[in-house]
């Protein structure tokens, strides 16, 4: 498409700030034999690594197969923003999941962040974890929306306080003239996501989990003991969990038809002078605006501005990615118009039609989790936990999620992207009003 290109990919990490600041480079072996185990998990992002870890913590013999490197997909490329909540507006599904199901989803939305907190503490994972977050308003109606969000969080028993900020108060946290005000909380926060995920993979190893990289699963055979095949090996297991999300490709057509790999991009500046960095985001919070194609940004531990946005349904990135993102960043912080940009990258978000994570089973021994619609750092941890619960005899919360119906995208393979791109253009136009 004009002005756009497919993100450049190899089996190694993309050129992100996260890969450049990884605590170590993972080098797990390729699968080159036929193995068996209790559970084989496909996909080494937050969903897969944490499902494998949860199962291994409960004593199962687990194998994790990653097609590229641990944290290679969205997990190693995202904005690093830890945000509560699971999907959007579960009340829409009250007929299928009942009031108790809706309540359960709200509770999971609160619990999700605590899993990250506990995991970092328990395994001593060095991933620059910080708490603090601001939603920022571009329009007066955003402030009304924030007041509703604050009241809503209180109504569902969120123990953290949410504080509305006017334009001047916001500047104590986010010092940009662009915003009319904001909503601050310490429930959300930010992390170096790749370091969190490789730390979780290391924790998996301590529980006896076996990890294979550059071992893409190319086939799945159903049966009493299902089997997954890679180019040079295979694994037979009592349970298979598919967690390839937007990068799973066509392995299971039913799953592919329900997820649209959409693109979002991030830049990392050079390390800023500490005084400049502190003047831009004095609260060291993660920041998001509420538009469909939103801006999200924060400082890294070494004081780079990590600025993300440009979400779009084409799955493509701009050819001049760095220049486009620089303009977006300068609209928020004009002081950064000419700083050096050290890294620019894109990744695929798994979008689902109804914006709720998709959990379910293709058979009683083949389970899947996917489609966090751009909001997965904390929810992946929660969905991994309830998937492990399901496979170890505690099905209730998994079944709530699995009872939500997920329709395929209309238009089939050929037409769903153009159709949705038009849809996003419509929502962008609404955002601009
Ligand atoms: C640019 C960007 C910014 C984002 N920002 C945020 C944010 O700030 N906050 C937030 O909450 N969410 C954010 N997200 C979303 C979040 O990153 C994802 O929801 C989350 O990381 C999904 O994790 P996952 O493990 O399900 O998928 P992924 O991390 O994509 O992992 C899937 C893995 O499966 C592997 N795989 C696929 N198929 C196979 C196969 N057949 N065999 C073996 N391996 C396979 C892939 O190689 C990949 O490593 C962002 C996403 C992007 C792309």
The tokens for 288 are 């998001």
Tell me the fold of 130-190+260-350+413-433: D-Amino Acid Oxidase; Chain A, domain 2 (3.30.9)
- Tell me, what's the pLDDT at 424? 58
Q: Between the CA of residue 260 and those of 33, 69, 83, 122, 353, what are the distances in Å?
A: 33, 22, 22, 35, 8
Task: Report d(CA 249, CA 229) in Å as an integer.
Answer: 15
HSE, CB side, 13 Å, CA atoms: give it for residue 278: 3
Q: Is 415 exposed, middle or buried (0-12, 13-18, 19+ CB in 10 A)?
A: exposed
Task: Report d(CA 149, CA 160) in Å as an integer.
Answer: 13
- Over residues 285-295, the pLDDT tens digits come to 999 999 988 99
- Over residues 383-433, the pLDDT tens digits come to 999 999 999 999 999 999 999 999 999 876 666 656 566 555 655 655 666
* Atom of ligand 1 lying closest to residue 251 CA: 41
Of 377, 378, 384, best ligand 1 pocket probe by most atoms within 8 Å of the beta carbon: 377
The residue ranges of every structural domain in the chain are: 10-79+194-259+354-402, 130-190+260-350+413-433
Q: How far is the CA of 247 from the centre of ligand 1 (A)?
A: 8
- Over residues 55-103, the pLDDT tens digits come to 999 999 999 999 999 999 999 999 999 999 999 999 999 999 999 999 9
- Tell me, what's the pLDDT at 50? 98
Task: Report d(CA 180, CA 146) in Å as an integer.
Answer: 12
CB of 196 sitting under 6 A from ligand 1: no
- Tell me, what's the pLDDT at 150? 97
If pLDDT is split at 50, 70 and 90, which confidence band does 322 have?
very high
* Atom of ligand 1 lying closest to residue 43 CA: 34
Q: How far is the CA of 74 from the centre of ligand 1 (A)?
A: 3
HSE, CB side, 13 Å, CA atoms: give it for residue 416: 18
* Atom of ligand 1 lying closest to residue 345 CA: 1
In our burial notation (b when 16+ CB lie closer than 10 A, e otherwise), range 101-138 reads bbebbbbbbbbbbebbeebbeeeebebbbbbbbbbbbb
Q: Are strands 81-82 and 181-190 parallel, antiparallel or unpaired?
A: antiparallel
Tell me the ipTM for this assembly: 0.99
Domain 10-79+194-259+354-402 has CATH 3.40.470.10: no
- Over residues 171-199, the pLDDT tens digits come to 999 999 999 999 999 999 999 999 999 99
């Amino acid at each position: 498409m004009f002005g756009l290109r497919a993100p450049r990919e190899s089996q190694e990490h993309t050129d992100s700030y996260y890969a450049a600041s990884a605590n170590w480079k993972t080098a797990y072996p390729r699968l080159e034999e036929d193995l068996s185990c209790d559970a084989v998990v496909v996909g080494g992002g937050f969903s897969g690594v944490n499902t494998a870890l949860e199962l291994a913590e409960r004593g199962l013999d687990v194998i994790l197969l990653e097609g590229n490197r641990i944290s290679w997909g969205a997990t190693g490329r995202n904005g690093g923003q830890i945000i509560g909540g699971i999907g959007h507006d579960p009340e829409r599904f009250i007929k299928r999941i009942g009031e108790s199901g809706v309540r359960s989803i709200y509770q999971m939305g609160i619990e999700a962040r605590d899993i990250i907190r506990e995991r970092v503490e328990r395994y001593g994972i060095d991933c620059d974890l910080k708490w603090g977050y601001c939603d920022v308003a571009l329009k007066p109606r955003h402030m009304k929306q924030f007041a509703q969000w604050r009241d809503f969080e209180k109504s569902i028993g969120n123990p953290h306080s949410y504080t509305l900020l006017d334009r001047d108060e916001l500047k104590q946290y986010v010092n940009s003239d662009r915003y009319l005000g904001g909503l601050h909380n310490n429930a959300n926060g930010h992390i170096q996501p790749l370091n969190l995920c490789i730390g979780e993979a290391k924790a998996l190893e301590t529980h006896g989990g076996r990890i294979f990289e550059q071992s893409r699963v190319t086939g799945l055979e159903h049966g009493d003991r299902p089997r997954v095949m890679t180019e040079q090996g295979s694994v037979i297991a009592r349970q298979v969990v598919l967690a390839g999300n937007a990068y799973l490709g066509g392995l299971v057509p039913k799953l592919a038809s329900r997820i649209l790999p959409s693109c979002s991009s991030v830049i990392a500046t050079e390390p800023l002078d500490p005084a400049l960095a502190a003047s831009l985001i004095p609260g060291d919070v993660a920041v998001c605006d509420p538009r469909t194609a939103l801006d999200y940004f924060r400082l890294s531990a070494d004081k780079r501005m990590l600025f993300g946005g440009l979400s779009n349904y084409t799955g493509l990135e701009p050819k001049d990615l760095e220049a486009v993102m620089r303009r977006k960043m300068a609209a928020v912080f004009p002081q950064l118009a000419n700083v050096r940009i050290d890294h620019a990258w894109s990744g695929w978000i798994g979008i689902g039609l109804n914006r709720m994570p998709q959990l379910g089973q293709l058979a009683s021994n083949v389970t899947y989790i996917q489609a966090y619609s751009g909001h997965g750092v904390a929810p992946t941890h929660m969905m991994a936990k309830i998937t492990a619960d399901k496979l170890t005899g505690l099905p209730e919360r998994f079944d709530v999620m699995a009872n939500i119906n997920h329709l395929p995208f209309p238009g089939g393979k050929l037409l769903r992207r153009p159709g949705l791109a038009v849809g996003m253009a419509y929502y962008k136009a609404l955002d601009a009003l």
